[in-house]
Structure 1
Amino acid sequence: MAGLTLQSTYKLLSGFEIPVVGFGVYQTPADVTERVTLKALELGYRHVDSAKVYRNEKESAAAIRKSGLDRSQIFYTSKVPSSCMGYEKAKQAIEESVAAADLGYIDLMLIHAPYGGKEARLGTWRALVEAQKAGKIRSLGVSNFAIQHLEELEAYIQSGAGGQITVGQYEIHPWCPREDIAEWLKKRNIIVEAYSPLVQATRMKEPVLQKLSEKHGKTPAQILVRWSLQKGYVPLPKSVTDSRILENSQVFDFALSEEDMASLKLNEYAPVCWDPVRDCKI
């Protein structure tokens, strides 16, 4: 963790670099997305996480173009939605996301969730691999896949389907740690991304967070982002408030001790978002 900054990166299995913190735009209204994303880029973020289903790809990408930064400095993610699973639908969805962004390429494209059954999941992966080979996408990954879905995809890739799972994105925070999935991914050098790392602000008054906040002179949100970083994850905090966008990035000037980290090891499984990891049974 020594020397990390907001522009620090990890190397993906694809050979590309991913910044260690991303700016999330989930549930950010389209009419404010461009402004807040531009603010995040001005404050030093270099990683923007959008999705087709968020309906703000165009606005997120517009901020990237208007930032004045070179395209190569910014990492942009989108996702194939559950409604577009299967080869043909996924192929069209990918084309639409690439066109909406108009950035030349998408850095990372994820399968948003494992719904639709095996044939649809593997067909979606095939469409992603084709888009990657065509230079439209640089790196591939998944979101919300349970271990059985990950193993199914791993076997498909090993059978000659091509591509690499470079990122696994999940709701992860102390109240939804998903240690088993994180371990599976890390064993394969797959980057773990944590969405809703701030638990959608529902846990800020928890005594354990308040205690750590007081100890370090940091906000509960900063403690949670730092927890993600020290777990080796890429957190994706989101906000539409300028001061909080800045606050969420000011996490590189302190460290949680082993005791602090242990205090956040909670015996609880309480996701605040949808939970395809548990809900998708086929």
Structure 2
Amino acid sequence: MNWALVKRHCADTVILFHHHDTVDIEDFGNLKEIAFDNMALKKALASSALGQDVLEDIISNEWQFGRGSCDMKAALALQLGVVAEYASKAEGKVNLLYLSVGDEESYSQGMRAAVGLLSDLKKKFHLNYILAIDSEPFESNSAQEKVLHVGTVRKMMPVVVTQGILSHMKEPLKGINAVSLLAKVVENIDLNPLLSDLIDGERAPLPSWSYMRDLKENYDVSTVLRAAGYFNVLYLDKSPKELMMTIQHLCQEAVDEFYERY
């Protein structure tokens, strides 16, 4: 974590926060070594065998290339600029706390660790947190349209493990393939609106699976004994207990349908 505090003679504090990590760069293929170099990547893409629409975007100079250029280099630059500008002023009605965390794209270790830091800073400098601003890129229909999200969303990442019955591949009906069972669970839960709630006209995103695989360590000619997967549930108003009850029901429904079929 990186943090900075512009302190004034008051307690009220505004937090500017963002993450400084990005997702993986493996999808850049042989260009991954320059995935973070905006200009070098743009030049390399211009000489690659790409579609005409991509080449037109490169020539137009209206598009930004490079992993993390918008999420989150832009946020980092903007917030540092605000902090520098505010620090140059002698007066101010609030304290300004800058917080940059890592691991947002995976397990949120940075943000979870930041909770302790925020608590310590609050006590040490006698702060009263009144507002937190997270800078994220947004999508709009025009250059004039700006998007502001108010509030926050909660997240769960349930893990589902399926247990099969071992059999030889030549006799699959004598056993239960854990992958087949998990596939049915995935089908029943993925994008299911029962796990999306609505509040004040805003609907939470539909659930989507992030991981699904067998738990074999090596290949053999037996069916899969165990498989596992996990998915994201973003929710606004429902309780974790309500969601877990729905997930349990959907899993049982998938298992029942699987047994009816086989």
Q: Whose strand fraction is larger, Structure 1's or Structure 2's? A: 2
* Structure 2 length-normalised TM: 0.27
Larger-gyration structure (1/2): 2
